[in-house]
Amino acid sequence: MFKKSLLLGVTGGIAAYKAAELARLLTLDNFDVQTVMTKSACHFIGPITFQSLTGNPVYSDLWETNATNNMAHISFSRNVDAILLAPASADFIAKLANGMADDLLATICLARDCPLIIAPAMNRQMWENSATQRNLSLLRHDGVIIVGPASGEQACGEIGMGRMVETCELVRAVRATLQTGSLQGKNVLVTAGPTFEAIDAVRGITNSSSGKMGYAIAQAAMEAGANVSLVSGPTCLSPPAVGRFIRVVSAMDMLNAVQAEIAQTDIFISVAAVADYRVAKINQQKLKKSDRNLSLELIPNPDILMIVSNLPKPPFCVGFAAETDELERNAEAKRHKKNLPLLVANWAQDAIGSDESELILLDDAGKHLLPKATKIEQARRLINHISSLYKLK
């Protein structure tokens, strides 16, 4: 039966009171929960609460002498399958981002060799502060899984981003993270973001695409045990800690990068919004403005996905279609034209730039709706679906 060991790290914030319910839910969900609290967390809630709910002793002191080898930080981080920090305060996030180890919980996190999931919770202004955002992007880059925060009324009376996400969502995130192995050892290639087709030295044509969905899929494939290569057009995102990250600009660059990887790819997930056309002749100098009309000759770009899916021995290919009208009809037509076992359809107006999406998966068995959820959650569901189809292949 599914029994995993989880270290619940509680840091100092008012949302610490919700961590007690979380400990209860995780225990009921068959996790063996070990709780470690910071000194400030103990001001908000008592260790006895967690001890009673989990049936395990609670630690907060780096100098705890009960640990058999006096190295609680090493034994803890070796004996658990994952660490969940809930709530993760702004101060603790700053510590993690800088690799500090000045208390038991921070030392365990630094010594870990398992996934780390954090649920930030703080006042909205602390959340928006560029120092906090900088720290979070460092953590994201280091492969830390960040869940939330949510928006709404805060304990301080203000309204905005910074509430800890609901406890049931955290339980789901832990389960999803530990459901690794479905793509263990498989090589997954993901394209993401837009491409940029230069007109002259300073101008170009591009598509609206934040890259968020592609990056989330790369992260989810990694969590499922795959070796992931991510080929990305220009985005403002920090890449997840994938095996290979290849930054490209134009569709032709993206095609070259994909072709260099494809021979060793098992699954190709084409999420990029590739520009359909490029400029026939790129001006090396900046074009001068005039009052006359300007015509540009555009030539079609190669369809990267179609090139891959028509290879003599193609990898398992997954396409995306963002449509503004007749979603299912247009998406199914694309799936047949591009010869794909699976195509993911979404409404362009809902998905672009947003942190959430609603997806329709179209495959030989029909359609499967993934109701609205955050992109990382959708990515994990999609990866589950891909791994089950891939195994049937």
Among 183, 251, 352, 361, binds ligand C5P (CB under 6 A): 251
> Does 319 contact ligand C5P by CB under 6 A?
yes
- Phi and psi of 320, rounded to 5°? -125, 145
Distance from chain centroid for Cα 263:
26
Contact 314, 304 (CB under 8 A): no
Q: Does residue 270 interact with ligand C5P by CB under 6 A?
A: yes
Q: For 171, phi and psi rounded to 5 degrees?
A: -60, -45
Give the pairing of strands 342-347 and 356-363.
Answer: antiparallel
Site membership for ligand C5P, residue 35 (CB under 6 A): no
User: Of 6 and 274, which CB lies nearer to ligand C5P in the complex structure?
Assistant: 274
Q: Which one of the listed residues 114, 156, 236, 317 is annotated catalytic?
A: 156
- In the bound state with ligand C5P, the residue whose beta carbon lies nearer, of 133 and 339, is 339
* Contact track, ligand C5P, 229-248, x by CB under 6 A: --------------------
Quick one: tokens of 274? Answer: 């590739």
Nearer to ligand C5P, 165 or 269 (CB): 269
Q: Is 317 in the site for ligand C5P (CB under 6 A)?
A: no
The CB-based long-range contact list for 43-47 (8 Å cut-off, 24+ gap) reads 43/12, 44/12, 44/13, 44/14, 44/16, 44/17, 45/10, 45/16, 45/17, 45/19, 45/20
Taking the C-alpha atoms of residue 127 and residue 89, their distance in angstroms, rounded to an integer, is 10
Instruction: Tell which phi-psi region holds residue 260, choosing left (phi > 0), alpha (psi between -120 and 50) or beta.
Output: alpha
Greatest alpha-carbon span in the chain? 82
Per-position x/- string for 174-213, each x denoting binding to ligand C5P as judged by CB under 6 A, each - no binding = -----------------x----------------------
User: Judged by CB under 6 A, which of 147, 272, 379, 383 binds ligand C5P?
Assistant: 272
Our finding on whether 305 is near ligand C5P (CB under 6 A) is yes
320 binds ligand C5P (CB under 6 A): yes
CA distance 39 to 164: 20
Annotated active-site residue 42? The verdict is no
Query: How many amino acids of this chain bind ligand C5P (CB under 6 A)?
Result: 14
Stretch of residues binding ligand C5P (CB under 6 A), selected from 13-21, 85-93, 144-152, 272-280: 272-280
Measured from the CB atom, the residue of 146 and 331 that comes closer to ligand C5P is 331
The interface region with ligand C5P, picked from 75-83, 149-157, 268-276, 347-355 by CB under 6 A, is 268-276
- Sole window of 58-66, 259-267, 299-307, 368-376 interacting with ligand C5P (rule: CB under 6 A): 299-307
Kindly give the residue spans of alpha helices, DSSP state H, lying in 101-182: 104-110, 124-128, 130-141, 167-178
Question: Containing H/E element for 202?
Answer: none
Closer Cβ to ligand C5P, 109 or 251, answer by number: 251
Cα 11 to Cα 167: distance, rounded to the nearest angstrom = 15
Nearer to ligand C5P, 223 or 303 (CB): 303
Site mask for ligand C5P (CB under 6 A), range 330-359, x = bound? ----x-------------------------
Give the phi and the psi of residue 126 in degrees, each rounded to 5.
-65, -40
The CA–CA distances, whole Å, from 38 to 11, 71, 104 equal 5, 17, 8
Asked whether position 274 contacts ligand C5P by CB under 6 A, the answer is: yes
- What residues numbered 39-78 form the site for ligand C5P, per CB under 6 A? none
Strands (E), 139-285: 145-146, 150-153, 159-163, 187-192, 196-198, 204-206, 227-232, 244-247, 267-270, 277-279
Q: How far is the CB of 143 from ligand C5P (least distance, A)?
A: 25
Among 38, 177, 301, 374, binds ligand C5P (CB under 6 A): 301
Q: List residues with catalytic annotation.
A: 156
Q: Which residues bind ligand C5P (CB under 6 A)?
A: 191, 251, 270, 272, 274, 276, 301, 303-305, 319-321, 334
